[in-house]
Amino acid sequence: MESLDLRVLGDALAWKQAGHAVTLVTVVETWGSAPRPPGALLAVRDDGVVSGSVSGGCVEDDLIARTKAALNLPVDERSRKPAMIAYGVTKEEAARFGLPCGGTLRLVQEPVTDTAWISAVLQRTSEHQLVLRTLTLSTGLVTLSSAQRGQAMAFDGSTLTTLFGPRWRLLLIGAGQLSQAVASMAAALDFEVLICDPREEYAAALGRHPHAFVRRVPGMPDDVVREMLPDAHTAIVALTHDPKLDDMALLEALGSDAFYVGALGSRRNQEARKKRLAEHFDVPQEQLARLHGPVGLRIGARTPAEIAVSIVAEIVQVKNAVAGSPRIGDVPDMAASRATA
């Protein structure tokens, strides 16, 4: 589950609390080159305002028109149960809605009548829990349960099961110029960014950071890593060039569930670091093999901004592989369309 979809739920909750009627739309199956994967969410407010996307803009206008028309019916005639919608069944319809390569979407449209489940999902994911939501189409009943990593979205025509996971987060060790560039790019990609640097002369600059999703975490790096309990939605990158700070943070990170662990430095420095960690701290080779170093994709980066691009790009590459996200240009078959969260 993308954090974008959690934002959709947050908007839906806020709209309902403000007195609006809200309809939630979920992609349940795709064929061909569909722009959005199964599980993607769209919330439509009674006045046509939307949050999220199910097609990249192809069918949203029609969904808005459908929703507004339904909400204009007398209250006793409005459906309170979910319904199926399909787009692109024929080549003509696919062309009409602008679906690429004859793509087809099957959607579940549901009026939001109870917000308790939305509040619960947002609360539990903020605590870095995985949540399974089950919707029964015949009744509109929603139940929540704990999910396990590796579970997939499922739809059998009568029951829709979707996964909601915590936001992706990035812990940066070091608050220098490069860290701030990485933080800005990661925040723009909707990561929650944490920066740890016990050196006050570096950390003081963080107060001027323009992104609300970037915050400083006080303490020594190894203590911070240990206390945050890195999970499979966490990336950790050491950027201080100071072994006293970087190595201790990496020692904790490599033994955690973090999906990405990286460190700045040349190949020679990386080999020296791995030797130190192995000889002085008994870090096993399978953990050392997880270390991305030199950190980032090889794009010939030279400036801090270019290096930041290479680092964030590699993190996104690994994140999408972990999340099972399709790459641009991939044409998944029906089985592959049931992507994991």
* Total number of residues shown for the chain: 341
Instruction: End-to-end CA distance of the chain: give it in Å, rounded.
Output: 4
CB atoms within 10 A of CB 101: 11
pLDDT in tens, 156-180: 999 999 999 888 999 999 998 999 9
pLDDT for 57 equals 65
DSSP notation for 116-134? HHHHHHHHHHHTT--EEEE
The highest-level CATH class for domain 169-323 is alpha beta
Residues of the chain with pLDDT under 50: 1, 326-341
pLDDT at 320: 86
**Inter-residue contact 198 to 245 (CB < 8 Å):** yes
* pTM of the predicted model as reported, rounded to 2 decimal places: 0.72
**Residue 109: C-alpha distances to residues 27, 86, 259, 305 (Å):** 9, 10, 33, 42
Q: What is the pLDDT of residues 301-338, one digit of tens each?
A: 999 999 999 999 999 999 988 665 543 333 333 233 32
- Paired sense of beta strands 131-136 and 159-164, if any: antiparallel
Residues spanned by CATH 3.40.50.720 within the chain? Answer: 169-323
pLDDT, position 95: 57
